[in-house]
Structure 1
Amino acid sequence: MGHRIADSVHLNSSKKVQPFPWGDMPEEEYYRIKKVQNKKERFKSPRGPSLFTQRWLPVDQPPKAIIFMCHGYGNDISWTFQQTAIFFTQMGCGAFAIDLEGHGQSEGLRAYLPNLNDVAKDCQIYFESVKREDDFRGLPCFLYGESLGGALCLLLHFFDPEGWDGAILVAPMCKISDSMWPPWPLPELLKFLAYWAPTWPVVPSKDIVDKSMTDPAKRELSKSNPRRYGGRPRLGTAAELLRATADLTRRLKDVTLPFIVLHGDADTVTDPSVSRALYESAASGDKTLKMYEGARHALLQGESDENVARILEDIAAWLKERVDRKNKY
């Protein structure tokens, strides 16, 4: 289950970072070269916010499965995250993703997440609407989540235990690393203050990008994302993440869907020991754990090209086996 990944870095941090991912190329031309059909839409949450969504579909064949993708805290679906969506599309799958409330191009106060169950419900309603479309009805359905997105995938599974054919969990936020929080008793004080000023962005925290990424050029690329939230966490968001992750840690034994969990053992943002506990505790009869020695939190956006290719190979092999199995019967 443990995998050593290469230490080499292929990108030169002294090079000028180009706008990602298409640089000076028109966006439509980039997708044409990749043989990907991209569509951007707005989805109205029943709670009120207008949420930004994207879909990526292969242009030369109908999709053999659909992947529903959830991004991490402070991130969005339109920067480096979409490279993974394109990867799934080039495997012959359709990929669908939604900017969470307060993130990316969705409405809401920036990076304010007062209730993760509400956020997960938004994702569920959108994903279910896609499932009902004629082109996708009856296809195998998989969840994909990075960091906070991994936690949302587990919430979606708990909402509908039979609704998904599997989940790909990349450094899931089932517990926030202790190194990300100030020492006791400050966290207790912050929880108290969150009741009175939940939107106040004052929680002491190190920059997640600096702690997440091994490759220096990719670190700068991530920081150049114009929609990334790099400010201090809001009191209400921090309190909710603590509550939700504590609840998830208690419910690991209730996970029954097929899953692969991938985590770097040098991750100081989310706790890799909880991914091990998920693998050991889950009731699922089809579960896989991949631990990568020396890797940090951002496995697909922050490691060297060589390491990312290795991790994507593991994801592709797991997904292909289960897609082929579902489509066979």
Structure 2
Amino acid sequence: MKRLPNIDDKLQKILDAKMDEVDARRKAREAIKDIQLGIDHILFKTPIDGLEIKESYEVNSREIEIFGKSWLPKASKPKAAVFFCHGYGDTCTFFFEGIARKLALSGYGVFAMDYPGFGLSEGLHGYIQSFDKLVDDVIEHFSKIKENLEFNSLPSFLFGESMGGAVSLKIHFKQPKAWNGAILCAPMCKISENMIPPKLVFRMLIAMSNVLPKSKLVPTQDIGEAAFKDPKKKEQTAYNVISYTDKPRLRSAVELLKTTEEIEQKLEEVTIPLLILHGEADTVTDPSVSKALYEKASSSDKNLKLYKDAYHALIEGEPDETIIQVLDDIISWLDDHTLKHNQP
């Protein structure tokens, strides 16, 4: 990785280590977490006074150690529970930290996890052997939280960003009655054409993925470069030291494309209350498919918000005023739907 400012040689050596295995990722995150949360970004200006923040590591039924995190208001019982699904290559310990604080200070219990192979959870970095199994891992982790006596009577909402939007929709398909709503931010219902290789190349990649599934051979644009509009915030992505930024692994790319094809064919099967948010200038995930999701979803309660000239990273990479607007829109929707649930 490129050298970060004000980083000594000892720390830089930790950050330069190969991140394929989780031990290196955990060591890097532990070494830089205080620096990360001190960068000059609007999300990290949210205070933590009045919040109870916990981190955990739990081995799941597939014998994978999963990292989870929660943010709860101290002064009162949460109004509802929000379960976050992060994007491809990402973690719930960097930019989402500020988003979670904002939601928790608004009275919500917020829960997140890193998928196997991402962030601080075990697994080969950036490797998705099966998208379905990944979704099952998320369901297992979130279900345990929802069964907790402290939270089992609360309305519960999914919150998926980018690939996490696809995870959220797949959770909904598997658990159609289990959730009170879903917030989908720039959801990966379809990857934009300019981000994927030509069809002939892709057919070759599918064949190769059966032989070399873990190889980093998929040609693609720099997602971070395309996702962040604000130049200063784009530079700050370098502090997300445990994100996966290499070329996609063959099996991962095939699984992502298969998943988007499946979701695009099943938009009519979406019945959950929806808030869909998308930047009109997004070149990573296709905003036209968010429009199609809004139009085709069978949900009687659905809302689409499009942000003029905004890129993919709506809550992390836009000018401050856009980030504030998007967060306000999310909290307003949560407040309305929590109130509806609690009305006799």
CA offset digits 1:144-176 (Å, max 9, x no partner): 010000000001111110100000000000111
CA offset digits 1:61-108 (Å, max 9, x no partner): 111100010000000000011211111101101000000110000000
Cα distance in 1 for residues equivalent to 2:190 and 2:60: 27
Cα distance in 2 for residues equivalent to 1:111 and 1:87: 28
Cα distance in 2 for residues equivalent to 1:32 and 1:314: 20
| Residue aligning to 1:254 | 269
| Residue aligning to 2:37 | 21
Cα distance in 1 for residues equivalent to 2:148 and 2:197: 47
Cα distance in 1 for residues equivalent to 2:47 and 2:291: 40
**2:46–2:98 contact (8 Å) kept in structure 1:** no
| Residue aligning to 2:172 | 157
Residue aligned with 2:36, SS:
coil
Gaps of 5+ in 1: 1-14, 25-29
Q: Residue type matched to 2:37 in 1?
A: P
Cα distance in 2 for residues equivalent to 1:242 and 1:183: 13
| Residue aligning to 1:178 | 193
- What is the aligned counterpart of 1:36 among 43, 51, 71? 51
Structure ranking higher on relative contact order (CA contacts 8 Å, 6+ apart): 1
Cα distance in 2 for residues equivalent to 1:75 and 1:229: 7
- What is the aligned counterpart of 2:251 among 236, 246, 253? 236
Aligned pair in 2 of structure 1 residues 33, 145: CA closer, same or farther (>3 Å)?
Answer: closer
* 1:288 matched to 2:294: no
| Residue aligning to 1:141 | 156
* Structure with the higher fraction of residues in helix conformation: 2
Aligned pair in 2 of structure 1 residues 264, 23: CA closer, same or farther (>3 Å)?
Answer: closer
Q: Percent identity?
A: 41
Alignment of 1:198-217 (within 5 A): 198-217=213-232
**1:73–1:148 contact (8 Å) kept in structure 2:** yes
| Residue aligning to 1:55 | 70
Residue aligned with 2:246, SS:
coil
Cα distance in 2 for residues equivalent to 1:44 and 1:229: 22
Residue aligned with 2:210, SS:
helix
Cα distance in 2 for residues equivalent to 1:123 and 1:297: 23
| Residue aligning to 2:334 | 319
* 1:66 matched to 2:81: yes
Residue 23 (structure 1) shift: 5.4
Cα distance in 1 for residues equivalent to 2:63 and 2:55: 19
Residue aligned with 1:185, SS:
helix
**2:159–2:168 contact (8 Å) kept in structure 1:** yes
Q: Residue type matched to 1:231 in 2?
A: D
CA offset digits 1:14-50 (Å, max 9, x no partner): x9899322459xxxxx997432111001122211210
Aligned pair in 2 of structure 1 residues 210, 32: CA closer, same or farther (>3 Å)?
Answer: closer
**1:100–1:106 contact (8 Å) kept in structure 2:** yes
**1:31–1:38 contact (8 Å) kept in structure 2:** no
| Residue aligning to 1:129 | 144
**1:145–1:153 contact (8 Å) kept in structure 2:** yes
Q: Residue type matched to 2:58 in 1?
A: F
| Residue aligning to 1:89 | 104
How many residue pairs get aligned? The number is 310
| Residue aligning to 1:9 | none
Gaps of 5+ in 2: 8-33
* 1:187 matched to 2:223: no
Residue 328 (structure 1) shift: 2.2
The TM-score normalised by the length of structure 1 is 0.91
Cα distance in 2 for residues equivalent to 1:287 and 1:23: 36
**1:64–1:323 contact (8 Å) kept in structure 2:** yes
- What is the aligned counterpart of 1:219 among 219, 234, 238? 234
**1:72–1:146 contact (8 Å) kept in structure 2:** yes
Aligned pair in 2 of structure 1 residues 126, 289: CA closer, same or farther (>3 Å)?
Answer: same
Q: Residue type matched to 1:287 in 2?
A: K
- Segment of structure 1 superposing worse, 182-191 or 111-120: 182-191
Cα distance in 2 for residues equivalent to 1:160 and 1:92: 26
